[in-house]
Amino acid sequence: MNNSCFYCEKDERLDNLMMKISELQTSILYLNKDQTHSGRSILALQSHKRELFELSNDERQFFMEDLSKAAKALQETFAPQKINYAIYGDVVSHLHVHLVPKYEQGPDWGGAFVHDPPVTKALTEQEYKQLTDEIQQHLKLEEVKK
Ligand SMILES: [Zn+2]
């Protein structure tokens, strides 16, 4: 737990950037409020750790399973041509992965996605709710298939 970290505090700094989709084994999946890349999401480890090598083997395995499951749910919800994965954390060091669906006709195809686009794409609360509901449904279907 780190008081200055919004992934730990889950305060308005987090609410301004993302909304919760679901809790997974060892992480929480959030929908990014900027939807320039349709379906852009963030998977954050539940505990405050900075680097992959700080996780126990079990925790790292669960985290990778969560990541895979989240990516599959995004694939099934948004049907992108590719999903990009990015771990940065220079400023907010709490381990989190950006999951960014990419589309051949969409922004940044063939290159690195722009982390903070100059013009962002916000949705209405209703549209966010609809997307989080759809992603939740696909996550649940994964459970059933297991
Ligand atoms: Zn933290």
Q: Is 133 inside a domain boundary? A: yes
Q: Is 38 inside a domain boundary? A: yes
The alpha carbon of 42 and the centre of ligand 1 are apart by a number of angstroms equal to: 14
The alpha carbon of 27 and the centre of ligand 1 are apart by a number of angstroms equal to: 12
pLDDT band at 146 (very low <50, low <70, confident <90, very high): low
Q: Is 102 inside a domain boundary? A: yes
Tell me the DSSP string of 20-33: EEEE-SSEEEEEES
- Whether the CA torsion 141, 126, 123, 105 is positive or negative: it is positive
Number of domains in the chain: 1
Q: Is 1 inside a domain boundary? A: no
Spatial separation of the C-alpha atoms in residues 67 and 85, rounded to whole Å: 9
10-23 tens-digit pLDDT: 999 999 999 999 99
The alpha carbon of 13 and the centre of ligand 1 are apart by a number of angstroms equal to: 12
Spatial separation of the C-alpha atoms in residues 86 and 102, rounded to whole Å: 13
Q: Is 101 inside a domain boundary? A: yes
For residue 7 the two structure tokens come to 């992934």
CATH number of the CATH domain containing 13: 3.30.428.10
Buried-exposed string 37-58: b where 16+ CB fall within 10 A, e elsewhere: bbbbbbbbbbeebeeeeebeee
The alpha carbon of 30 and the centre of ligand 1 are apart by a number of angstroms equal to: 15
Q: Identify the domain containing residue 31 by its residue range.
A: 6-145
20-38 tens-digit pLDDT: 999 999 999 999 999 999 9
